[in-house]
């Protein structure tokens, strides 16, 4: 049986391409992850060192694929530049859990919502996933809008569900299913 690990596909959205990370991307990841918003809302190490970036693209991401997860660089299709990261974890269990960040300079152009829509459709249409989910801090309005723009449904609040930067927080759970309009429509 062909597995996600064998596929490592390049996915094509409207505004972005999603491709596996390469060692050459370490500088981009290092620069992007200095950003206060990425530091605040995600679980990336803080402070974020060059070794963290190198480890991410050369070890963490390839090992994720080995495990059957999928971790992609978000590439701006207009320029070919990598501008963010998006990953789906737990694909092998049928419930993929997605996380993402996008470099500050590339925000506000719909790149992340296109990346999320593209990844989720691939999970649900081609990778055997039954449910794609993600969780958002209720204060992270931008991330909630990304989920909604990609067609996800807010299911409710999970109390004290996640630890981010030593803080245990409530999260809003979002999901997308194979029969949802964002997946059914071409
Ligand atoms: C949240 C984040 C991924 C948004 O990336 P982005 O590329 O700017 O998102 P998009 O351009 O696809 O935005 C989708 C919609 O949300 C809106 N939006 C995005 N960020 C917003 C913000 N901070 N405030 C208000 N609206 C915002 C956009 O205007 C857009 O609206 P539209 O559909 O009406 O045009 C980015 O700000 C980021 O990386 N933040 C730090 C890391 C993070 O929070 N990750 C998610 C953890 S759950």
Q: Give residue 110's pLDDT.
A: 98
Residue 154: inside a domain, yes or no? Answer: no
Residue 171: inside a domain, yes or no? Answer: no
Q: How many angstroms does the Cα of residue 93 sit away from the middle of ligand 1? A: 28
Residue 93: inside a domain, yes or no? Answer: yes
Count: domains in the chain: 1
List, chain by chain if needed, residues with CB within 6 Å of any ligand 1 atom. 37-38, 41-42, 100-102, 107-113, 136, 140-143, 145-146, 149
Q: CATH number for the domain including 68?
A: 3.40.630.30
Q: Give residue 71's pLDDT.
A: 97
Confidence tier at 78 by pLDDT (50, 70, 90): very high
Residue 69: inside a domain, yes or no? Answer: yes
Q: Give residue 5's pLDDT.
A: 62
Residue 63: inside a domain, yes or no? Answer: yes
Residue 51: inside a domain, yes or no? Answer: yes
For 19, 46, 78, 102, the CA distances from 39, given in Å and listed in that order, are: 23, 7, 27, 12
pLDDT tens sequence across 80-137: 999 999 999 999 889 999 999 999 999 999 999 999 999 999 999 999 999 999 999 9
Range of the domain at 92: 4-133
pLDDT tens sequence across 32-49: 999 999 999 999 999 999
Q: Which atom of ligand 1 is nearest to the CA of 84?
A: 39
Evaluated on CA atoms 32, 33, 36, 39, the torsion sign reads: positive
């Amino acid at each position: 049986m062909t597995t996600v690990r064998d596929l490592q596909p390049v996915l094509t959205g409207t505004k972005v391409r999603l491709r596996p990370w390469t060692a050459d991307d370490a500088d981009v990841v290092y620069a992007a992850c200095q950003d206060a918003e990425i530091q605040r809302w995600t679980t990336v190490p803080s402070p974020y060192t060059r070794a963290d970036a190198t480890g991410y693209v050369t070890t963490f991401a390839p090992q994720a694929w080995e495990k059957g997860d999928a971790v992609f660089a978000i590439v701006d299709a207009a320029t070919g530049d990598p501008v963010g990261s998006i990953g789906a974890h737990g694909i092998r269990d049928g419930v993929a859990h997605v996380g993402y960040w996008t470099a500050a300079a590339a925000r506000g152009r719909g790149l992340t919502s296109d990346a999320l829509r593209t990844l989720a459709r691939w999970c649900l249409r081609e990778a055997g996933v039954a449910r794609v989910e993600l969780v958002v801090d209720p204060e992270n309005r931008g991330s909630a809008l990304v989920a909604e723009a990609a067609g996800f449904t807010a299911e409710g609040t999970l109390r004290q569900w996640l630890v981010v930067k030593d803080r245990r927080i409530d999260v809003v759970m979002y999901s997308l299913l194979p029969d949802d309009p964002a997946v059914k429509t071409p």
